Amino acid sequence: MATTVALKIKAALAAIETLRRSLNDIDEDFAELETSRTQLDDFKRELASAQELLATAKDTAVAEGAEHARQQALHAQEQERCRDETNRLQNELRALDRRVKETQAKNDNLLEGLRALKERIGVE
C-alpha cells in the first residue's frame, strides 16, 4: 500500500508540476497580453492623434481652398476691369488717332491753300 500511496503522491506531484508549468505559461501569456493591450492603447492614441492632425489638415485645406477660390474670383474681376479699361482706352486712342488724322488733313489742306495763295499773289 505504501507503493500505491507513493505512486499517488508521485502522480499528484507530477500533476502539480504540470499545473505549475501551465500557470507559468498562463502568467507569460497574460504578460504578453498586457504588453499587447499596452501597445494597442498606444496605437489607439497614435490613431486619435493622426485623426486630429488629419482633421486639422482637412479644415486648413478647405479654408485655403475657399481663400484660393475667393482670390481667383477677385483676380477674374480685376482682369475683367482691366480688360474693360484697356478697351475703353483703345477706343479713346482710336478716336484721338482719327482726330489727329483729320486735323493733319485740315492742316495739310490749309498749308496747300496758303501755298497756292502765295503763288497767286507772288509771295515767297
Given a cut of 70, whether residue 124 has pLDDT beyond it is no
Question: At which residue does the C-alpha cell 500511496 appear?
Answer: 5
Q: How much is the pLDDT for 1? A: 64
| Residue 80, SS3 per DSSP | helix
Q: What pLDDT is recorded for position 122?
A: 81
What digits encode the pLDDT tens for the residues 54-93?
999 999 999 999 999 999 999 999 999 999 999 999 999 9
pLDDT, mean over the chain: 93
- pLDDT tens digits, 3-44: 898 898 999 999 999 999 999 999 999 999 999 999 999 999
Residue with cell 494597442: 40
Give the span between the Cα atoms of 103 and 116, in whole angstroms: 20
